[in-house]
Amino acid sequence: MKRLLFSLVIVFALSTCASAQIEYIGFSLPEDASSGTPYQLEPYFFLHYFYVDVLYFFDLLDKVDLQTKMEMFAKILNNIREDYPVELVIKFDDWDEPLRVSYRVFASEGRQIVFMTTNFDLENQETLPAYTWECYAHIYYIFGDKLVNNYYLFSEEKEEVHMTDLNDLADFYLFDEREDNDHLIEDLLLAHINAGDEPLVSRFVGYLTLTQYYMVINELEKAGKRLAEAEGLFEELREKDKENWGALLTMTKEQVEVIAQIRGALPQDEE
């Protein structure tokens, strides 16, 4: 068995806003920890799921600074592999057990999948000493350079459901595994945004989806412009809508910053 390197690389100072809740963030890594993923994955899709399925799910968006999020993301993406899991460890001061979020690549029915497991018991809302089948987990399928979760696996039935909303359809095409519908995404979103009968909040969401699309195709200047338009519309939203959609805006803003910094080369891990 490989020896593990366990590094508590991030310790929060008492003066930070997260210090009252987070004691430390660390990683359990393979001995040959690297600075480049062997799977040539498009960073944005992994980043998106990391934000939604980890940072948002565990209410970490406002508790962890952007640089730390980037280090967490890069450590994980750089070290996912088949022979040993990479694990993120977060110790909260009022949880008996640290939260453990583990990623590992497996082969399933001739296709590689990324299996994310945690020790968080969904029913009892608590961390356990070890992973069980009742714990929060996700599966992502690898298609070329793309990660796709179960929800976005293409089917004609799903496509039909999304046909009634151009933003939803574009979002489905953006995150599904098929490449033959990607060329439709931009036009669908522009039609959605420019439709005169769309509510303000729908146009706001459309700009965010368009921002995501431009991040994927590496048009970061366009991504920044669309994000700025989304921020302008956000200020006009009702307070209830701001509460409902504020987290999505925060995630998209941070993702633009992360992608802008990592595009072309992920940050190098510290020795």
The answer to whether 152 and 143 have CB atoms below 8 angstroms apart is no
**Radius of gyration of the chain from Cα atoms?**
19
Q: Which pLDDT score is estimated for 2? A: 26
Q: Which pLDDT score is estimated for 15? A: 28
**pTM as predicted:** 0.87
Q: Which pLDDT score is estimated for 52? A: 96
Q: Which pLDDT score is estimated for 36? A: 61
Q: Which of 161, 173, 95 is nearest to 128 (CA)?
A: 95
Q: What is the DSSP string of 26-84?
A: EEEE-TT--SS-TT---HHHHHHHHIIIIIITTT-TTTS-HHHHHHHHHHHHHH--SSS
Residues with pLDDT less than 50, the chain: 1-20, 265-271
Q: Which pLDDT score is estimated for 165? A: 94
Residue with structure tokens 């994955």?
Answer: 41
Q: Which of 122, 124, 75 is nearest to 102 (CA)?
A: 75
Tokens read off for 222: 């366009």
| Side chain identity at residue 213, one-letter code | Y
Tokens read off for 90: 């977060």
Exposure pattern of 112-126 as b/e (b: 16+ CB <10 Å)?
Answer: ebbbbbbbbeeeeee
Q: Which pLDDT score is estimated for 40? A: 82
Q: Which pLDDT score is estimated for 109? A: 79
Helix axes 220-234, 200-216, angle to 10 degrees: 160
Residue with structure tokens 């690297």?
Answer: 34
Q: Which pLDDT score is estimated for 19? A: 38
Question: 3-state SS of the chain: helix, strand, coil percent to 5?
Answer: 45, 20, 35
Query: Could you tell me the residue ranges of all domains in the chain?
Result: 5-150, 154-260
